[in-house]
Amino acid sequence: MATGQKLMRAIRVFEFGGPEVLKLQSDVAVPIPKDHQVLIKVEACGVNPVDTYIRSGTHSVKPLLPYTPGFDVAGIIEAVGESVSAFKKGDRVFTTRTISGGYAEYALAADHTVYTLPEKLDFKQGAAIGIPYFTAYRALLHSACVKPGESVLVHGASGGVGIAACQIARAYGLKVLGTASTEEGQKIVLENGAHKVFNHKEANYIDKIKKSVGEKGVDVIIEMLANVNLSNDLNLLSHGGRVIVVGSRGPIEINPRDTMTKESSIKGVTLFSSTKEEFQQFAAALQAGMEIGWLKPVIGPQYLLEKAAQAHENIIHSSGATGKMILLLK
């Protein structure tokens, strides 16, 4: 190793597998930014379900081993590459992806994936913006093409993407319904944009939603767990209604006839299918939300970097999300 090379603590993955493959190392070289790259001193990093799918080797994205997980960091610019003009050392920022991985004391990112973090939001909130808010925005505005006055059901509304979807939908003039499985989760959903909330652990909650929306049905459903809910979703939709699949953890049997009479549609969404231009559009809308005040991430479970394996275990196996899970760097 080169003399004088700064070292940092980071989580490294040397083989795909369960949470136990996340290894904390304290002798990882701090990356050096070149060209359009920036180096960020990480204060907090978001933990997303996609991190666990990539780590397990079951995702279409398979990084070269070893790698450091993590897309959504918030922190302070430590250094910039020679072609960077939008940022300088000391700027508060958040990211939508990183080059070197976010579960680390320092992260390298391309400047077009880095955004200014307003003073009114802290670093924990900054780490909760990236994947959740950009995904929710893409799902609602780009995939579902929602219109003011339409109704939206956020199926699984108390986690990172769910809360983001409720806040965005309310800001854009939709009638917002959400589901959550705990009392605390339901309270958070109502406090963050939903007009009504339902407990998806109750046996008859689908009937309650049907009763609430009446004959017409729901125009849009943002679905976090399609392998459990998709069949019910199709029965809840209005004529021309659409289900946007944000999350699924396995197969499900549906009756395609349910889509025919209503001419409804099922559409999947993946944030990283977005073009650079689309990311800029989403960012402009979300920056406005931060300035106006409707974009306010809710922080859920917090873990120190060395507890990353526990965070991965819990994000998949704990029921009843309440806010966004994050890793803290100190």
Q: Which residues of 279-309 are buried (b: 16+ CB within 10 A; e: fewer)?
A: beebbebbeebbeeebbebbbbbbbebebbb
What residues contact residue 64 under an 8 Å CB cut-off, 6+ apart? none
Q: Report if residue 2 sits inside a domain.
A: no
**Two structure tokens written together for 207:** 């009937």
Q: How confident is the model at residue 330 (pLDDT cuts 50, 70, 90)?
A: confident
Q: pLDDT at position 182, please?
A: 94
Write phi, then psi, for 260 (nearest 5 degrees): -75, -55
State pLDDT tens for residues 168-214. Answer: 999 999 999 999 999 999 999 999 999 999 999 999 999 999 999 99
Residues 100 and 174 in one domain: no
Give residue for tokens 């976010």: 102
Cβ 177 vs Cβ 218: under 8 Å: yes
Q: Report if residue 93 sits inside a domain.
A: yes
State pLDDT tens for residues 89-128. Answer: 999 999 999 999 999 999 999 999 999 999 999 999 999 9
What residues contact residue 140 under an 8 Å CB cut-off, 6+ apart? 146, 152, 165, 168, 169, 172, 174, 220, 222, 244
Instruction: Provide the domain count of the chain.
Output: 2
Q: Report if residue 141 sits inside a domain.
A: yes
CA 261 and chain centroid, separation: 33
Q: Residue 148: give its domain's CATH number.
A: 3.40.50.720
- Asked whether the predicted pLDDT for residue 218 surpasses 70, the reply is yes
Q: Which of 232, 255, 272 is the last residue of a domain?
A: 272
Cβ 75 vs Cβ 125: under 8 Å: no
Taking the C-alpha atoms of residue 197 and residue 154, their distance in angstroms, rounded to an integer, is 9
Domain of 14? 7-128+298-328
Residues 143 and 231 in one domain: yes
Taking the C-alpha atoms of residue 152 and residue 126, their distance in angstroms, rounded to an integer, is 26
Q: Residue 49: give its domain's CATH number.
A: 3.90.180.10
Residues 58 and 159 in one domain: no
State pLDDT tens for residues 276-286. Answer: 999 999 999 99
If DSSP codes are grouped into helix, strand and coil, which group holds residue 230? helix
DSSP lists the bridge partners of residue 237 as 218
Residues 262 and 163 in one domain: yes
CA end-to-end span of the chain, whole Å? 26
Q: Which of 257, 272, 287 is the last residue of a domain?
A: 272
Give me the chain's average pLDDT, please: 96
Give me the amino acid identity at 241. G
Q: How confident is the model at residue 319 (pLDDT cuts 50, 70, 90)?
A: confident
Interaxial angle between packed helices 226-236 and 205-213, expressed in degrees from 0 to 180 and rounded to the nearest 10: 30
Q: How confident is the model at residue 3 (pLDDT cuts 50, 70, 90)?
A: low
Q: How confident is the model at residue 1 (pLDDT cuts 50, 70, 90)?
A: very low
Q: Report if residue 25 sits inside a domain.
A: yes
Q: Report if residue 282 sits inside a domain.
A: no
Residues 194 and 167 in one domain: yes
Residues 93 and 177 in one domain: no
CA-based angle 126:131:135, to the nearest 5? 125
- Asked whether the predicted pLDDT for residue 316 surpasses 70, the reply is yes
Give residue for tokens 């009504």: 196
Cβ 10 vs Cβ 22: under 8 Å: no
Q: How confident is the model at residue 321 (pLDDT cuts 50, 70, 90)?
A: confident
Residues 19 and 116 in one domain: yes
Cβ 158 vs Cβ 183: under 8 Å: no
Residues 257 and 323 in one domain: no
Q: pLDDT at position 276, please?
A: 95
Residues 111 and 202 in one domain: no
Average pLDDT over residues 285-314: 97
Cβ 153 vs Cβ 220: under 8 Å: yes
Taking the C-alpha atoms of residue 247 and residue 178, their distance in angstroms, rounded to an integer, is 16
Q: Report if residue 238 sits inside a domain.
A: yes
Q: Report if residue 195 sits inside a domain.
A: yes
Over pLDDT 90: what percentage of the chain?
95
Taking the C-alpha atoms of residue 151 and residue 218, their distance in angstroms, rounded to an integer, is 6
Residues 115 and 136 in one domain: no
Residues 124 and 139 in one domain: no
Residues 205 and 307 in one domain: no
Give me the amino acid identity at 314. N
- 89 backbone φψ class: left, alpha, beta (φ>0; ψ -120 to 50): beta
Q: Report if residue 12 sits inside a domain.
A: yes
